[in-house]
Structure 1
Amino acid sequence: MAQWDDLRVFLAVARAESLSRAAPGLRMDAATVGRRIARLERDLGAALFVKSPQGYALTDLGERMRDRAAEAEASLSLALDEARGAGAGDQAGMSGQIRIGAPDGVSNYLLPQVCAAIGADNPGLEIQILALPRVVNLSKREADLAITVSRPQAGRLTVKKISDYHLHLAAPRDAEIRTLDDLQHRRIVGYIPDMIFDKELDYLDELGAQSVQLASNSVSVQAMALRHGAGVGIVHDFALPFAPELKRVLTDSISLTRSLYLVRHTSDRSSERLTRFADRLSQGLRAEIARLEALVA
């Protein structure tokens, strides 16, 4: 019969879709992880994965087992949270591991300093930041909570708005851009069009541009390209203090407002630890957005 440790290994491979990517988090080598999966499949008498050079894809049975194992993992996490709270009192610091999934702009310019402050107050807490150019899948337990730029419309999720934030057109400080016509002969830096994973990240219409001459799926790469004089592009106001070579231009003509949302799996809403962390994270993000935007206002 499969033991919880077997399911833990199975979940890690199911989420990583690879033995080598799952191994570090399990503190095992890839060969050991492979043997554990083979033993589990042998004990069950059924295949959980389809193996290929591209990785490990779940079979139909594997997908059903992943969902049930994830539910068991969540229940175990809640039980441990309750035990920690009962044993340490209401004022105890948070502990254990919490993983946050977020777009790379938030991951690069906001989360490091906010999470550093939370970690300083909670030395027993291990915080992981998962920066992905796509929406984090909480149902697959890729993370404990996610930050998104659109409110999810499906899934067993709880969603709370964190804050609005602002974006403007930015260019090198020596650029002479006074009217929209001045953009006609400027290279546009932005997202790779077919890799925009959220409609709120599609800024081309705001610029009246038809194409992007230098593109990346990473907003941080875009900002670095602008810092090296690659052209003009939309930049988060909260990122500009980290890019002193850039300035906002045409602020009266091009000004965008977007929002950040904190998303959690519904089954986690009774976790006091995650709720405390989510509240502290939201407060920290609101304060940091306000602080950084004030520096460029």
Structure 2
Amino acid sequence: MAEPKWDDLRVFLAVARTESLSRAGKTLRLDPATVGRRVARLESALEAVLFMKSPQGYALTQAGARLVARAEAIETAMFNAQEDVLGGAETMTGQIRVGAPDGCANYLLPQVCASICADNPGLEVQIVALPRVFNLSKREADMAITVSPPTAGRLTSQKLADYHLHLMASRDYLAAAPALSKLEDLKDHTIIGYISDLIFDTELDYLSEIGGPRTKFASNSVSVQLNWARVGSGLVIGHDFALPFAPELTRVLSDQFSLKRSFYLVRHADDRNISRLGLFAKELGKRVRQEVVRLEGRT
């Protein structure tokens, strides 16, 4: 049995995580044929079949599943060796991908990540804004921001920050709409909210807190909801930290209704020894907390 090459193990991990030669190729910037040859070369070196092709994609065999943990350990060692060569433990370099719900991704992460990169010129940050839970085991992201801590899997989490939400509407809408002085008046108003069957976390079910009124306008995107409110379509439960980006909106009934939620930073347990990810997580946590306080203070 020949000694496997790191380049082939790197390709193996990409296929294991994406379950596809083409998706792995996009991640690695290789064509699918090259990815397939690398996998075949690794299987030949190890004298084992690592994947079974199915209609759903490339599924790990038992041998492939056993190899994943060993390959990830080598990956961690390679990351740390690269960091040592490029500048030591206090340097953040290379690419880091962060997954986040789109409210956080749109209104907090751009300026926070820009400030971190300004202090670390060798760092590249990708923000993946998706209204769903990220699969860190498949390396969809290096870390993810969530609205609930994980309850399963080899994951670690730390609380980033508390944030607040209130009912909001544009001044134009309020000028033309029926009177609104108490929560019971909401029955006479147009409500904007989430598509109920696409709410991926109960912490996002804001409207249930006010009796679950029927929505006339609904989206799985916080930004779409907020923009509907900005053009005068109705009332929305919005993030206080987003208000400075939507000057058309004002909070309503804030003395009668408010919500507090939290952001958590979730990482794969196997990444705890990758120093640049640890440094980035520390800076991200500190600066997200500062930015939430700053933006909420402007509301």
Once the two structures are overlaid, the 10-residue window that deviates more, 71-80 or 233-242, is 71-80
Q: Compute the displacement of 1:36 (Å).
A: 3.7
1:254 to 250, 254, 257: 257
Q: Compute the displacement of 1:39 (Å).
A: 5.0
Q: Compute the displacement of 1:66 (Å).
A: 3.5
Aligned to 2:204: 201
SS of residue paired to 1:135: coil
1:117 to 108, 115, 139: 115
The one-letter code of the counterpart of 1:8 is R
Aligned to 2:177: none
Contact residue 167 and residue 251 of structure 2 kept, 8 A: yes
SS of residue paired to 2:270: helix
Aligned to 2:188: 185
Report the CA distance shift for 1:267/1:39 in structure 2 as closer, same or farther (over 3 A). Answer: closer
Aligned identity (percent) is 59
Aligned to 1:7: 9
Aligned to 1:292: 295
| CA distance in structure 2 between the partners assigned to 1:215 and 1:63 by the alignment | 41
Q: Compute the displacement of 1:276 (Å).
A: 1.7
The one-letter code of the counterpart of 2:166 is H
* Deviation sequence 1:221-240 (CA, Å, 0-9, x none): 22222223332221111112
SS of residue paired to 2:283: helix
| CA distance in structure 1 between the partners assigned to 2:101 and 2:218 by the alignment | 16
Report the CA distance shift for 1:122/1:205 in structure 2 as closer, same or farther (over 3 A). Answer: same
TM-score, normalised by the number of residues in structure 1: 0.86
The one-letter code of the counterpart of 1:105 is G
Q: Compute the displacement of 1:49 (Å).
A: 4.0
* Deviation sequence 1:143-167 (CA, Å, 0-9, x none): 2222121122233333221111001
Report the CA distance shift for 1:38/1:243 in structure 2 as closer, same or farther (over 3 A). Answer: farther
2:129 to 128, 131, 147: 131
Contact residue 50 and residue 59 of structure 1 kept, 8 A: no
The one-letter code of the counterpart of 1:269 is R
Aligned to 1:76: 78
* Deviation sequence 1:60-82 (CA, Å, 0-9, x none): 5544444443333223323433x
| CA distance in structure 2 between the partners assigned to 1:222 and 1:50 by the alignment | 41
1:166 to 164, 167, 192: 164
Report the CA distance shift for 1:118/1:31 in structure 2 as closer, same or farther (over 3 A). Answer: same
Aligned residues: 291
| CA distance in structure 2 between the partners assigned to 1:117 and 1:40 by the alignment | 41
| CA distance in structure 1 between the partners assigned to 2:294 and 2:131 by the alignment | 25
| CA distance in structure 2 between the partners assigned to 1:229 and 1:7 by the alignment | 54
Once the two structures are overlaid, the 10-residue window that deviates more, 100-109 or 186-195, is 186-195
> Structure 1 residue 146 and structure 2 residue 149: aligned?
no
Q: Compute the displacement of 1:138 (Å).
A: 2.3
2:240 to 231, 237, 240: 237
Contact residue 93 and residue 121 of structure 1 kept, 8 A: no
SS of residue paired to 1:184: helix
Report the CA distance shift for 1:96/1:253 in structure 2 as closer, same or farther (over 3 A). Answer: same
| CA distance in structure 2 between the partners assigned to 1:63 and 1:224 by the alignment | 45
TM-score, normalised by the number of residues in structure 2: 0.86
Contact residue 145 and residue 262 of structure 1 kept, 8 A: yes
Report the CA distance shift for 1:189/1:31 in structure 2 as closer, same or farther (over 3 A). Answer: farther
Aligned to 2:49: 46
1:88-99 pair list within 5 angstroms: 88=87, 93-99=91-97
The one-letter code of the counterpart of 2:162 is D
| CA distance in structure 1 between the partners assigned to 2:21 and 2:250 by the alignment | 45
Contact residue 206 and residue 254 of structure 1 kept, 8 A: no
Report the CA distance shift for 1:34/1:88 in structure 2 as closer, same or farther (over 3 A). Answer: closer
Contact residue 173 and residue 233 of structure 2 kept, 8 A: no
| CA distance in structure 2 between the partners assigned to 1:18 and 1:191 by the alignment | 32
Once the two structures are overlaid, the 10-residue window that deviates more, 188-197 or 210-219, is 210-219
